Structures are given as structure tokens and as C-alpha cells.
Structure 1
Amino acid sequence: MKIALFGYGKMGRMIDEISLERGHQIVARIDEKPGEIPYGEMEVAIDFSVPESAVTNIKGCLSKGVPVISGTTGWLERFGEVSDHCEKVKGAFLYASNFSLGVNIFFELNRILASMVDKTGEYEVGIDETHHIHKLDTPSGTAITLAEGIIENSGYKKWALDKEGPETIPIYSHREGEVPGTHVITYTGGVDEIRISHEAFSRKGFALGAVVAAEWILGKQGVFSMKDVLNLGRK
């Protein structure tokens, strides 16, 4: 498989390494200010760039018939625009806030737990996330996905950073050292507390998941998520 990498930071370099280990070829390593982009040489693009470049990168590839895997966060207010463009050009696009297999299982546990706890009316939820000091976005895309999963399966209506309020899920973000990523969801009641958490030991799981998604999307058409790749059904 011939892969183009958009964004060549730590994640881009790790995806490069894993791709080569799995027998793939990197045909382009494109940083923030690319020159001529070799669309004709790509079979799939993996975008871990920056929010300011993501939409241009994704739409550019889709317009040229190149399927795109995106893990860039901070641009999702334009997700509808990108999805519409993908459908218009009959392309293939997959976005995930986190490509880790464990995290995507965690997403499903989160949805199920939210629905179960909501029926009791006895608990208040909070999300706590910790990442390395180099992470650009706050809160993390993973934390937002977790909050959205709770909102879809409970009476909560919105989330807010470092704020509590009626029908609001507070997300508390921390940036420390080189922490790959830890997410904790806590339901606190009058007599006890329920807590689920996911802790990444390294970024390798994220990079591997992105390559697996790239392998999966070849020959497909539409807008997808890691639920499709891993065949994770809703409850």
C-alpha cells in the first residue's frame, strides 16, 4: 500500500515506522508548508497535521480520489463540510479522535455505562484527561468523544471545560510531562462512586490503529469511524 503522510511530527514518524514494518511504502511525507503534492502516487493518505491545515489536506486528497484517514483534532466544527464533500466526490474518509483499539472499546463501555447510570438519577458525571505538554488542543478529542457518548445516552445536554452546570459534563484537562494519554470518567453519588479509566502506555497503539484503518478503507466509499473498522456495534 502506498501511503502519504500529512504532518510529520511524533505521530507521523511513528506511523511511518509502523507502516514500513507492515510492508507498506511511504510515497510522501508532507509537513505544514508542502510544495507540489504527489496525489497520483498515493493509494491512501493519513493526516496528523494541524487544525489549520487539516480541512485543506483532507478535501484536496478526496478531490483527487485518495481515501483519507484523519486523526487531527481541533477542526471538527467543519466536519459536516468535509463529510458533504466526501459524499459529493464519492470518496472515502475516516476520522477518529483516537485510533487505539483499547480506547475504542472504552468508548463503547462509556456509552453503555452512561445509559445504565442515567436510569438511576443518583450520580453526577465528570471527565478528567491528562496528556503530554506538547498537545495543542484542550480538551482532547478523545475527551470530547467521551462526553458526546454520554450526552447521546443520558440527560446531559452539553460539556464545558473546567466548568460545572445544569445538564453539563465538566471536562478537566491537564498537561504534564510526556504522558501519552489518560482518561477517567467518574460518576459520583451520595453513597458511592463509579469510575472507569483508560491509560495509554505509549503512542504506538494510536499509530498502529491509524495504519490498520488505512488498510481497511481501501476500496470503500463513504464516511466512516473506528466503529466500522473494528465492527463495534451499539448496545
Structure 2
Amino acid sequence: MKIALIGLGTTGKIVAEFLVKEQALSVVLCRKNSPDAGKDLSEILHRPYMAVPVETIDNLEETLVKYKPDVLIDFSSPSFLRENLTTLARCNVNVVTAVTGYTQMDIKRAKVLARKQKFGVVFAPNITRGVNVMLLMAQIAAILQPDYDFQVIDENHRNKKDSPSGTAEKIATAIMKGLGKRSDEDELVPIHSIRAGDITGRHKVLACGLYDQIEITHTAFSRKAYAEGAYKAACFILGKTGLYEMKDVYGLGNYTCAKERFGDATELPLSNAYA
């Protein structure tokens, strides 16, 4: 498998190193007029020569034809996919995007294009396995304790642009579904965002009753967790068509909870936590 990568921020550089070790990275893409254009990746990461060129997206289609990546991993910004999804589809390059900030219209457009052009896209704002397990746990807590007050705390590094994070919003949606409420209702689950220092990523669910409190926390100790998740998603989407999420990558899409264990014979599909 040959992978192209765009987005060499703090996390993107760690992803790049991870992909090099997996012998999967064939080219790194950068913005027009980037000072990194024309360099070898080793010059940017301050490593021995890697033979991974850095190319601008000025002539994206020409670059994709030249390096023939199977999958592109995106750690840049929503604008890249908005502007270049059609080109990627035309070149038959599947996509894993770990970017947050997409609109519902962006996702709908990708779904339609993936179906028409027969290529694959993974939308992965919640890219680690631990976060995906946390989504299920949060919904289960809401199912079992619907009379509790739920809050989400979203902690990330000072340079993270979106606040709240896409992951925090996913967690809040999972709780809302567990409570049997729509995400467009007035009483949304409150999200408290903290942007400070170099916090790698921590999300916490507080479920508070009158006499006790439940806490569900996911903490990323290293950005390698994101790199590992991105690579796993790339392996998953290789050769597939259609739109997917990380729940599909980790095999959590069909996870169900038998509500009869808690006094009701109805099965609840927890895959809807990823709406």
C-alpha cells in the first residue's frame, strides 16, 4: 500500500514518521508556496534521508498520477477536501481524513461522490480506538442513568483551532441518543473546552446524580495513538468504496446492548452513537 499524507503539523509529523517506519509513505503534500516544497521529508523531520518527496498541491492530479498513492491521509484542514475531493475520486485515491470542522453538507457531498465515483472515504475526527470505546460507554451510561446530569469536558493543546473538538461533539451526540433525545433539541449536553499548553487530548464525561457521580475519561498519552489509528483506517479503506467512520474501522458498527438485561426486552443499537 502506498500512502500520501497532507498536514505536517505537530500530529502530522508524528504520523509521517509512523508511516515511514511502516514503509507505506510515498509522498507528502503541502500547500501552495510552502517553504517545504521540493524538500525530502527528512529535512523537515531532521532525520536521515527518507526518499519521501514533499510536493505542493498546485498540480494535484499530476502529482497523484506520478506517485500513484492508494490512500491519502489528511491532517490538514476542511478546505483541502472541499476543494480536492473530486480530483482524488477521479484519480481513484481513497481518503482518510482526521480533520474536524466539516459541515453536514460536506459529509453528504462526500457520501454521494463516493457512491458515484466508487471510491472510499473515512471521516475520522475520533481516530483512536479508545475514543470509540468511550462513545459506546457514554451512551450506555445515558441509557442506564437517564435521570443523571451529563457534561463533557474537552481538553486539548493551546493551538487546536476547533473548540469544542469534533470528538467532544460526538460524545455529546452519543449521550443524547442514549437519553432518547435528538441532537437538535434545546437541552443539549454541555461541553466545556480547555485549550492549554501541549495537552495531547483528554475527554471526560461526567454523569452526576444526587448522591453519586460517574466519570468516563479517555486520555491520549502520545500522538502516536493518532498515527496508529490513521494507519489502521488506511489499511481498512484500501480497495473499499463508500463512506465510513472509525466505528467501522474498529468493528464497532454492529455493537448492540440487550436492554432486557436492564429490565426491557428491546435491543438498542449503539451504532447510532456515531450520528
Partner residue of 2:149 out of 106, 124, 139: 124
One-letter code aligned to 1:74: G
Say if 2:75 and 2:98, in contact at 8 Å, map to a contact too.
yes
Match of 1:194 in 2: 214
Match of 2:84 in 1: 57
- Equivalent position SS for 1:158: coil
Match of 1:234 in 2: 255
In the alignment, structure 1 segments of 5+ residues that lack a partner are 160-164
State how far apart, in whole Å, the 2-side matches of 1:142 and 1:114 are. Answer: 17
One-letter code aligned to 1:11: T
State how far apart, in whole Å, the 2-side matches of 1:167 and 1:155 are. Answer: 12
Match of 1:71 in 2: 98
Q: Provide closer, same or farther for how the CA distance between residues 156 and 125 of structure 1 changes in structure 2, counting only shifts above 3 A.
A: farther
Partner residue of 2:127 out of 91, 99, 123: 99
1:114 aligns to 2:137 (yes or no)? no
Partner residue of 1:84 out of 100, 106, 112: 112
Per the normalisation by structure 1, the TM-score is 0.90
Partner residue of 1:205 out of 207, 225, 233: 225
Q: Size of the alignment, in residue pairs?
A: 226
Q: Name segments (4+ residues, structure 1) moved above 6 Å.
A: none
In the alignment, structure 2 segments of 5+ residues that lack a partner are 33-56, 257-275
C-alpha displacement of 1:90 = 1.2
* 174-183 or 48-57: bigger deviation: 48-57
C-alpha displacement of 1:57 = 3.3
State how far apart, in whole Å, the 1-side matches of 2:244 and 2:25 are. Answer: 24
Question: Quick check: which has more Rg, 1 or 2?
Answer: 2
Partner residue of 2:188 out of 137, 148, 168: 168
State how far apart, in whole Å, the 1-side matches of 2:142 and 2:87 are. Answer: 38
Match of 1:162 in 2: none
Say if 1:19 and 1:211, in contact at 8 Å, map to a contact too.
yes
Per the normalisation by structure 2, the TM-score is 0.77
One-letter code aligned to 1:211: Y
Match of 1:4 in 2: 4
Say if 1:155 and 1:167, in contact at 8 Å, map to a contact too.
no
C-alpha displacement of 1:166 = 5.3
RMSD over aligned Cα, in angstroms? 1.7
Q: Provide closer, same or farther for how the CA distance between residues 190 and 183 of structure 1 changes in structure 2, counting only shifts above 3 A.
A: same
* 221-230 or 54-63: bigger deviation: 54-63
1:144 aligns to 2:144 (yes or no)? no
Say if 2:110 and 2:243, in contact at 8 Å, map to a contact too.
no
State how far apart, in whole Å, the 1-side matches of 2:205 and 2:31 are. Answer: 35
* 209-218 or 102-111: bigger deviation: 102-111
